[in-house]
Structure 1
Amino acid sequence: MSSAAVTAEMLKRQAAARALEHVRSGMKLGLGTGSTAKHFVELLAERVAQGLEVVGVPTSEVTRAQAESLGVPLGTLDEYPVLDLCVDGADEIGPDLTLVKGGGGALLREKIVASAAHEMIVIADASKMVAQLGAFSLPIEVVDFGVAAIRRGIERNARAAGCQGLLTLRRRADGHVFVTDQGHLILDAAYGVIREPALLAARLAEVPGVVEHGLFINLASRVILAGADGVTVIDRA
């Protein structure tokens, strides 16, 4: 592993450790998905082993398997429909804390869990903070029926929101089509710059067959960024 990769993982772990400071016994926690959230689950498990009493609600089957293997008590949103805190990563973070998420393919569950929490803390290395969203392709989760028609609807409505770019059906490394935990497909939209995220979010939601998109608006209440100069905490105005 390169020194750059090691440094990136160290930064992710620093952000995760700072988020853990907000966890108290008795909390119901949304557990995010991805490389940064993985560090949070590992650190949380250490605290659980020391006597911290929490219940986690995972946002993916990958996170569920990790948390179970580490001894973190788990529940579901049916059992705990209101959560105290959700801790998750992000692929991009805008100045107003609007997020692009879904690089790992768990955006639907991630958004449901985040919406059920009183507070969402986003943990990331400083490179994820951007002046404008869109360099990272926007994941759009769709049903597996009529994908060509859904694609046309997405392209039409995205143009109405000032966005154009290539839509690519996500595939796994082995070439097979990527299928989400809910049995859906993902179209990754390379828009370049998303000047009006709220408008794009509204237009995408209008397309029949679109299950969810990776724009998280007014969900993150706090962002914890770890960089070369230390850890920075940004609260939503």
Structure 2
Amino acid sequence: MDARQMKIKAAEAALDYVEDGMRLGIGTGSTAEEFVRLLAEKVAAGFRVVGVPTSERTARLCLDLGVPLKSLDELPELDMTVDGADEVDRKLRLIKGGGGALLREKIVACASERMIVIADESKVVDVLGAFKLPIEVNPFGQVATRIAIERVASRLGLTGDVVVRASGDGPFMTDGGHLILDASFGRIPDAEALASELNAIPGVVEHGLFIGIATLAIIAGPSGARILTSA
């Protein structure tokens, strides 16, 4: 079973949790896109659902495939969000934002009664941090914000480069018009402490540590999908 097949298996398992008539947050990324494709098949067969997309990319795919959408302002309270993750540990703490949609992903997930993570087994880690931590920042004062992030990291014993994410000949811009700094920490032994420190930096709009948000994770491997709950 290749990587895409495992993503499809995770997405198929997530569909079992989606009920007719749900208000559904729909995530961003390659695994979430497999979920959208499968969801669209059910919608075409008469299944009723209204989605709130976490990115313009997801919105375009949903519209192309016929999945009904509303904005989060129109549906400010959601039944469930289904989204992928760049890393997930055994306490269901996540690193997200590899696709650049972490702010909207976190807003949508926190507006939902529960969040289901779908991922292949390569995303499961003992300690978060091998994947670069995305940190969404305001373009104004970005250098000062980066220095503040590096100081926080140093106080917590974290090392590694913190660099502006690039796209083509310029910086990557989020749907909200922000920059992303990718922090190569390698290991984050105390994710809660880092999240708290980052939240206190004025130029940080949001960060990719999702702590206490996910309800369960569906992890797909060669032998099929398994359920991961908080340890």
* TM-score when normalising by structure 1: 0.96
Amino acid at match of 1:147: Q
Which residue pairs with 1:205 in the alignment? 199
Which residue pairs with 1:3 in the alignment? none
Q: CA deviation at 1:165?
A: 1.3
For residues 150-205 of structure 1, give each alpha carbon's deviation from its aligned partner in whole angstroms, at most 9, with x where no partner exists: 11111111222232210010011x23210000000000000010000000000011
Which residue pairs with 1:152 in the alignment? 147
For the 8 Å contact 2:91–2:229, the answer to whether it is kept is no
For the 8 Å contact 1:201–1:213, the answer to whether it is kept is yes
Matched, 1:185 2:179: yes
Where structure 2 has 5 or more consecutive residues not aligned to the other structure, the ranges are none
* TM-score when normalising by structure 2: 0.98
Q: Give, in whole Å, the separation in 2 of the partners of 1:115 and 1:122.
A: 13
Percent of aligned positions that are identical: 56
Q: 1:195 aligns with which of 189, 192, 196?
A: 189
Q: Give, in whole Å, the separation in 2 of the partners of 1:221 and 1:160.
A: 31
Q: CA deviation at 1:213?
A: 0.2
SS in 1 for 2:24: strand
Q: CA RMSD in A?
A: 0.9
Where structure 1 has 5 or more consecutive residues not aligned to the other structure, the ranges are 1-5
For the 8 Å contact 2:90–2:229, the answer to whether it is kept is no
Q: 1:22 aligns with which of 8, 11, 17?
A: 17
For the 8 Å contact 1:158–1:204, the answer to whether it is kept is no
Q: Give, in whole Å, the separation in 1 of the partners of 2:144 and 2:171.
A: 18
For residues 62-94 of structure 1, give each alpha carbon's deviation from its aligned partner in whole angstroms, at most 9, with x where no partner exists: 000000000000011111111001000000001
Matched, 1:33 2:28: yes
